[in-house]
Amino acid sequence: GQQLNQSPQSMFIQEGEDVSMNCTSSSIFNTWLWYKQDPGEGPVLLIALYKAGELTSNGRLTAQFGITRKDSFLNISASIPSDVGIYFCAGRAWANNLFFGTGTRLTVIP
Amino acid sequence: EAGVTQFPSHSVIEKGQTVTLRCDPISGHDNLYWYRRVMGKEIKFLLHFVKESKQDESGMPNNRFLAERTGGTYSTLKVQPAELEDSGVYFCASTWGSSYNEQFFGPGTRLTVL
């Protein structure tokens, strides 16, 4: 199956700093998604990307669908304490199921 | 409107025992998915139901895992007999209408096999 490499695995940042994380795939996806998981909760969709080259924002979050369709990044600007959690990228090829990255654990130090 | 719910939230069992996990999707969602996250690894797809039919079960690890969705409402995932490597968090997700719509995830069931 498809392999997604997500980096970094974890980040410790100061409140107010910007964050960047990315995912690369061994194969092409038609959709890239970014999820956030809070402790004790399931993943919640943050941003969905449907076209190569697409750049989409959701508040302080910005994500891009790579031109090659094999990568995506997520940026968080001006981080705040509630940004703490695990961020997952996910890709969808031709089937309906999602392939997830291993997650980036974000810690924001006030 | 209630979200996806899963029961139990935690389960600790011994190797060789049987465990049944339950997922109640959002009412009216025909598509139901099971995923699993083993510690520190990616969330992996297990299977996909459309109503009561298994659309794709390519991610099921082996025949110790049995998923059902009788009546097309809630779903159960039974592991029998459980092995140590089955430990992880099992997520359920559901979508309305097209299976390409947003998947809403439940909080997961953390399974520990000792």
Whether A14 contacts chain B with CB within 8 A: no
A53: left (phi over 0), alpha (psi -120 to 50) or beta: left
Query: What pLDDT sits at residue B39?
Result: 86
pLDDT above 70 for A24: yes
- Chain A residue with minimal CA distance to B31? A96
Give me the mean pLDDT over the A9-21 stretch: 96
Q: How far apart are the C-alpha atoms of A51 and A107, rounded to whole Å?
A: 30
The angle at the Cα of B38, spanning A28 to A98, to the nearest 5 degrees, equals 30
Q: Which of A47, A25, A38 is nearest to A93 (CA)?
A: A25
Whether A93 contacts chain B with CB within 8 A: no
pLDDT above 90 for A70: yes
Query: What pLDDT sits at residue B99?
Result: 63
pLDDT above 70 for B97: yes
Q: Does the beta-carbon distance from A100 to B31 stay under 8 Å?
A: no
Query: What pLDDT sits at residue B40?
Result: 82
Q: How far apart are the C-alpha atoms of B84 and A71, rounded to whole Å?
A: 34
Kindly tell me the number of DSSP H helices and DSSP E strands found in chain B: 0, 11
Q: How far apart are the C-alpha atoms of B109 and A109, rounded to whole Å?
A: 29
Tell me what the pLDDT averaged over chain A comes to.
93
